[in-house]
Structures are given as C-alpha cells and as structure tokens.
Structure 1
Amino acid sequence: MRKANIVGVDGSESALNAVRWATADAALHRVPLRLISVGAESLPDKARAAEESARRRWLAVAAQQVDEVAPGVETTSELRRGAPHAVLVEESAQGRRVIVGIRGLGEGGGMMVGSTAETVAMHAECPVVVVRARDVEPADPGPILVGVDGSRVGEAAVAAAFEEASVRHAPLVAVHVWMDVEVEPWLARDDDREWESIDETERAVLAERLAGWREKYPDVEVHRVVERDRPVRYLVEHGRQAQLIVVGSRGRGGMTGMLLGSTSRALLHMAPCPVLIARSTT
C-alpha cells in the first residue's frame, strides 16, 4: 500500500498553501493525499456541532484546492479530535511525509501555528515539509538546495534531495558550510594557508558524501558549494532562488536526544521557501 502525504487543515491560508504544495508533490510522486482536520476533544454539544460543521467546510475548501492543482490525486478527508500536533505525529507513523504550514490561526481557534509545526517537525516519524505563508508550489523554477553537514546521520537529507531533484527535473545545489566547525578560536583569521587546507579537507568531505548518490541519479545536475559561513545564513540567503531546502532532522553530532538540529529548527522560521526535514533512522 502506498503511503500518503498527510496535511493538517485548519481553515487558514497557510494550511491551504500546504495543501497545494502537498497536492503537487503527491502528483509528482504518484502517492495518495490525506487531509486531516483536528478539533478539540472537550466541547459542549452545541459548540461541538458548530465547530465540526466549520471543519467540514475547511476540508471541502481544501479538496477544491486539490482538484485545481492536480485533480487526479487520490484524496481522502478525515475529522479527528485531540491536540493537533499529537494527531499529526501519530499519523506520521503510517505517512510518507507530513506537510504543515508555518502560520495559521491562533492557538485557540487554529491548527497550524508555528509551535505546532515545530513540534511535528521534531517528533514525526516520517519526513516533514514546512511550507511558508506565501503561495508556492513545488514545481516552481529553481534548484533543490541541500545542506550537507558531513555526518552519516545527514545521509537521509542527501538521499531525499537527490530524489526530489530527479523527480522535479531540477538542479541540485549541495551546500557544505564549515564555519560551524570550531576552528576560529585557535586559527588566526589571516592564516590563509591553514584556511586553504581546511577548505580542501571540507571539499573532500562533500565529494565523499555525494559520490554514491551521483551514480544512483546520473540525471541530476549537481553543483557543489563549500563555504566558510554559518549554515542558516547561507541557506536562507540562497533559498530565495530555490524551490525547496532539504536538511536533516539532527545536527552534526547526531545525538539521540537531539530531536531537531539547530540549523533545521532555525530554518523552520527563517527559510524563504519550503523546507523538507529528512528523518534519519540511525
């Protein structure tokens, strides 16, 4: 059975942006789409009926968006009750990826607020895509931008980025930014030879991480970028020309307790385009 793209629907424009992105993505990858609207568990009967009626309207509007973007996508809609982030995390165990909007209505009346998106990104069992407030489709022109940290736990991001670049017929920009390696305290800024040596080493790291994937996806045009910069700053700046940024769910160290790396977490709030957080299983 094909795993579905899962989208939370809360009646906000941000959620509809997520629906549009998820629909086009589902069409590209030929997978089903599930629209889920989550309501509060404890409501008086009269309020519960009114709230449920509103959520059915939201799902109907979302279904119309699906028909406009890609009418052939197999779509199901579902009303659920509980905490929005908890429901989406639970659903992620059977999902292909969860797509959320970074903004929505308020905590009291809406679903896709920033904290919900961040919590889902931290705890989901499948990859998560966070879509910004502006209207954007995954078929927009521009490359796939992937952050490569040089660690084995970052392999999931590289794998996802190559797959996305291949299916979207887009170039892949593989970015390895190494200023987060703590060398500055002991290395003089004007020691060009030492900086060149580090740069050469980091380029070799990037080449090693890409080698097998370039053979698997010979159709993907790959551009390597090695920069002495901060990862978030570089990815945000160059994400303005990208259609998607792909990063790993954990940082360079890959610590088990680190549910979301600092770079990935910052990108949720700062990235100018959708962000795919690939889930590492190690």
Structure 2
Amino acid sequence: MTNPVVVGVDGSPSSLEAVEVAAREAALRGVGLRLVHAFGRTSVHVPPGMPPWNPKAAGVRELVDGTMTEAERRARTTAPDVEITRDVTVGEPVMVLEIESRTASLVVVGSRGLGGFGSLLLGSTAVHLAAHGRCPVLVVRGRPDPTGPVLLAVDGSPAGEAAVGFAFAEATLRGADLVALHAWNTWSESAHEGYGDHLSVVVDLERLQEEEQRLLDETMAPWQERHPEVTVERRLVRSRIRPALIEASQEAQLLVTGARGRGGFTGLLLGSVSQALLHHAHCPVAVVRGKE
C-alpha cells in the first residue's frame, strides 16, 4: 500500500485549513489521507491518578469526535475520492507526528493552533518536526497564489538534492511552473549558520557570479532532463538568502527548501534559513530532509 499523507488535527482553523491542503495533496498523489489527533500531557486536564486521557471524562469524547468529524467533512468536501482514516492517540503531538512520518509520504501541519499540533509559530513544533521527520513536512501558512509557481530554494548542496526532486514532483502534480532561485553575495551567509568568516569577501564579483550561475545550472540540468513537462525559470539573484526567498514567496503557491544548506554545522538538522522561512514565508513551506 502506498504511504498516505498524514495531517495533524487539533480543531483550530489553521489545522482545518491544513486538512484541506492535505486532502488535495493526497488526491494529487493518489494515496490515502490519515487524520491524526494526539493528547499530550497538557492537552486535557484530568484528576490526579487518572490516565492522561479518559474517554469518559466530561465532554472529552464529544469534543474529539466533533473535531475529527469536522476534519473528515472538510477532507471529503475537498477530495471526495480519497480514502480517509482517523487515529486518536495519547502522546506528545510532536512525537506522535514524528512517528507517523516514518510511514507517510508527506506530513502536513497548520501554522497556528490550540496548543497541541498548533502554536507552531509560537513554539518549536514545526522546527522539530521539519528537523526530525522521516518524510517531507508541509507547513500551511501565508496566502499562497493558486496560480503561482512552485518556488525552490537552490543551495547546490548534496543534501539539497531531495528538495529539488520534491519540487519537480510537486510542480508536475500541480501542473505548475517551477522557479529555481539561488541567492548569492560577496560573503558566505553560512557565517550566520556558525561557519565561515565575515572577512572572506570576494573581490572578483564577475567570477563569483559565473561560479554561482554554474552551480545553479549544474543543479537543475539533470532534473530538467528527467521532467521535460515542467517549465523552469532559473533565477540567480545577488541578495541575502532569507529576504530573497521570503520576497519571492509572495507570488508562489508553494516554497520548497532543504533542511540544511551549504556551510552549516555538521549534524545541524535544520538551518536558520529553513527556520526563517517557516516563520516568515508568504505561502506554505515544504521542508525536505536529504541524506546527511
């Protein structure tokens, strides 16, 4: 059986929006949709000595049933032909989703919620899941342009290859164009990642630009040969990475990035660029971990 799309549900407007996005993703992939709700230690208040979740607690079952019923209704309205399953479990939501990611093709979460799967921008849930999930993680945020392209952050790193492949697959499924954006400057932004030297200024700007253009072309060429159906714009900009991608995301329907780019600490699972995009992009962000 093909791995399903998994979505975290907590009943918040953000998570219900994530359900609709996840249903569309499942329909595009031709796979099932799995709705997951988890009770962490702080999700439900019960008397001392009782289990973390007591189905007979006043209003708890009704609340959960109502939440999951509404989520399923949204999903069926969005994608009537998708097979939908539910799971309500006890456990810290971020850990539950991390476990779910081991058998999922994609995990989808909202950007704000009620304190379980939600409050992503208020805490570290999205960052943790993007860093440790075993499959791509899609955080639903911003106001995407439904007619816009898929925006790919190109860094040229070996770990970034997985993000390139995911972006081409998404562009194919959506029938969208692909904008491959690579930002460069006269000093390495990896200095902000804890590696590099602010004094390592490159004097020969023309030569540097040619090298960065070559990196972009070499990264994209083999993938374009495999996906001739995708129209690709290779966009080389002289700018800091984060503001360039955040600005470009205003006209995109999806932003795809690797978890960690060139120059980061070895073993660092999620770079500052990816974290910044999760917090500030104007459209949904897919974080794709590659082989470290």
TM-score by length of 1: 0.90
Aligned position for 2:194: none
Cα distance between partner residues in 2 of 1:279 and 1:235: 18
Aligned position for 1:279: 289
- Provide the aligned C-alpha RMSD in A: 2.0
Identity of aligned residues (%): 43
By how many angstroms is 1:232 displaced? 1.2
Alpha carbons 2:5, 2:34 under 8 Å: kept = yes
Alpha carbons 1:4, 1:34 under 8 Å: kept = yes
Aligned position for 1:181: 188
Alpha carbons 1:6, 1:99 under 8 Å: kept = yes
Q: Secondary structure at the match of 2:243?
A: helix
Cα distance between partner residues in 2 of 1:281 and 1:236: 25
Cα distance between partner residues in 1 of 2:270 and 2:234: 25
**Counterpart check, 1:203 vs 2:203:** no
**Counterpart check, 1:120 vs 2:129:** yes
Question: C-alpha deviations, 1:171-207, integer Å up to 9, x for none?
Answer: 100011122626873547xx6xx11110111000010
Which residue of 141, 148, 153 maps to 1:147?
A: 153
Cα distance between partner residues in 1 of 2:224 and 2:182: 16
By how many angstroms is 1:52 displaced? 3.0
Cα distance between partner residues in 2 of 1:35 and 1:86: 15
Cα distance between partner residues in 2 of 1:224 and 1:5: 30
Which runs of 5 or more structure 2 residues have no equivalent in the other structure?
48-53, 190-196
TM-score by length of 2: 0.87
Structure 2 CA distance for partners of 1:184 and 1:227, relative to 1, 3 Å: farther
Alpha carbons 1:101, 1:133 under 8 Å: kept = no
Aligned length: 272
Cα distance between partner residues in 1 of 2:289 and 2:201: 34
Aligned position for 2:37: 37
Which residue of 54, 59, 62 maps to 1:50?
A: 59
By how many angstroms is 1:118 displaced? 2.2
Question: C-alpha deviations, 1:83-108, integer Å up to 9, x for none?
Answer: 11011001111111110111112x3x
Aligned position for 2:279: 269
Cα distance between partner residues in 2 of 1:185 and 1:95: 44
**Counterpart check, 1:232 vs 2:242:** yes
Match of 1:11, as an amino acid?
A: G
Alpha carbons 1:17, 1:133 under 8 Å: kept = no
Cα distance between partner residues in 1 of 2:157 and 2:130: 20
Question: C-alpha deviations, 1:225-265, integer Å up to 9, x for none?
Answer: 11111111011111011000000011213655211111111
Aligned position for 1:251: 261
Cα distance between partner residues in 2 of 1:113 and 1:81: 19
Which residue of 148, 152, 159 maps to 2:165?
A: 159
Cα distance between partner residues in 1 of 2:46 and 2:91: 11
Structure 2 CA distance for partners of 1:72 and 1:46, relative to 1, 3 Å: closer
Cα distance between partner residues in 2 of 1:86 and 1:49: 26
Q: Secondary structure at the match of 2:275?
A: helix
Question: C-alpha deviations, 1:3-31, integer Å up to 9, x for none?
Answer: 01111100100001110111111111111
